């Protein structure tokens, strides 16, 4: 998929665990793992906004586009 999710990067920068982020955002750790590992087919804007609020970042800090051929390398 050409969209890459960089939640791990922001978690490391904020020194926050996945469990803490899930709790503060109000989603299950399992759903956060699906999003974090790039297996999600969609993300609600309310969830994206909550992630940005908790991590004090912009949506572009969490999501980025890569061409298909670059993603497979």
What digits encode the pLDDT tens for the residues 21-72?
999 999 999 999 999 998 999 999 999 999 999 999 999 999 999 888 765 5
Name the token pair of 58.
């912009």
Do the beta carbons of residue 14 and residue 56 sit within 8 Å?
yes
Q: What is the pLDDT of residue 2?
A: 86
Do the beta carbons of residue 8 and residue 18 sit within 8 Å?
no
Q: Quote the crossing angle between the two packed helices 18-25 and 45-55, to the nearest 10°.
A: 120
Looking up tokens 């939640």 gives 7
């Amino acid at each position: 998929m050409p969209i890459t999710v960089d939640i791990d990067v922001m978690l490391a920068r904020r020194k926050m665990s996945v469990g803490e982020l899930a709790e503060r955002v109000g989603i299950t750790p399992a759903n956060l793992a699906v999003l974090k590992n790039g297996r999600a087919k969609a993300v609600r804007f309310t969830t994206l906004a909550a992630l940005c609020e908790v991590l004090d970042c912009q949506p572009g800090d969490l999501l980025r586009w890569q061409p298909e051929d670059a993603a497979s390398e």
